[in-house]
């Protein structure tokens, strides 16, 4: 394997976070540990975070709070890189019940990271800066 960064896919994250099925979890965990030292970064995009968040809830019956806790735990791994706004969002208190929710906040964070204004019909987004809610 090259020593450049790797982008982790949703299927990889879900196996790592659910430990299901066990052989795939073991392969995912072994890969992370084997390559973490020589690798600069394992990248997790906002899209992969969003997919993993929903997969944990809808396919593995994780409550929102547990899905978010699992993602927070992965964010603490020194070799795993989330976007700065994803790390900030995951650190918010009461995120499982927040309005707007996790994925809407990731979308907003991506807009802000590019200097764009978020245009939405999501009324709860009014509290977010650089957002225009259409009526």
**Three-state helix/strand/coil letters over 30-80:** HHHHHHHCCCCCEECCHHHHHHHHHHHHHCCCCCHHHHHHHHHHHHCCCCE
Do 90 and 103 have their domain in common? no
Do 28 and 48 have their domain in common? yes
Cα(79)–Cα(61) distance, integer angstroms: 27
Do 44 and 25 have their domain in common? yes
% of the chain with per-residue pLDDT over 90: 83
Do 74 and 104 have their domain in common? no
pLDDT reported for residue 35? 75
Contact 55, 47 (CB under 8 A): no
Do 54 and 73 have their domain in common? yes
Do 66 and 29 have their domain in common? yes
Do 134 and 117 have their domain in common? yes
Asked if the model's pLDDT at residue 18 lies above 80, the reply is: yes
Do 83 and 110 have their domain in common? no
Residues β-bridged to residue 81 = 43
Of 63, 79, 94, which closes a domain? 94
Cα(91)–Cα(77) distance, integer angstroms: 15
Do 113 and 83 have their domain in common? no
How many other CB atoms are there within 10 angstroms of residue 26's CB atom? 12
Do 61 and 123 have their domain in common? no
Do 82 and 110 have their domain in common? no
Contacts of 48 (CB under 8 A, 6+ apart): 7, 8, 9, 10, 13
pLDDT reported for residue 41? 81
Arithmetic mean of pLDDT over the chain? 93
Tally the domains of the chain.
2
pLDDT band at 82 (very low <50, low <70, confident <90, very high): very high
Range of the domain at 26: 1-94
């Amino acid at each position: 394997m090259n020593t450049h960064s790797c982008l982790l896919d949703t299927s990889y994250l879900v196996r790592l976070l659910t430990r299901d099925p066990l052989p795939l979890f073991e392969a995912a965990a072994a890969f992370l540990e084997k390559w973490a030292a020589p690798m600069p970064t394992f990248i997790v995009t906002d899209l992969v975070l969003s997919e993993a968040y929903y997969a944990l809830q809808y396919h593995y019956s994780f409550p929102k709070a547990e899905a978010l806790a699992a993602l927070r735990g992965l964010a603490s791994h020194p070799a795993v890189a989330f976007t700065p706004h994803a790390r900030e969002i995951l650190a918010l208190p009461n995120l499982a019940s927040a309005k707007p929710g996790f994925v809407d906040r990731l979308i907003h964070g991506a807009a802000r990271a590019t200097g764009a204004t978020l245009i939405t019909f999501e009324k709860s987004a009014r509290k977010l800066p650089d957002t225009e809610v259409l009526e």
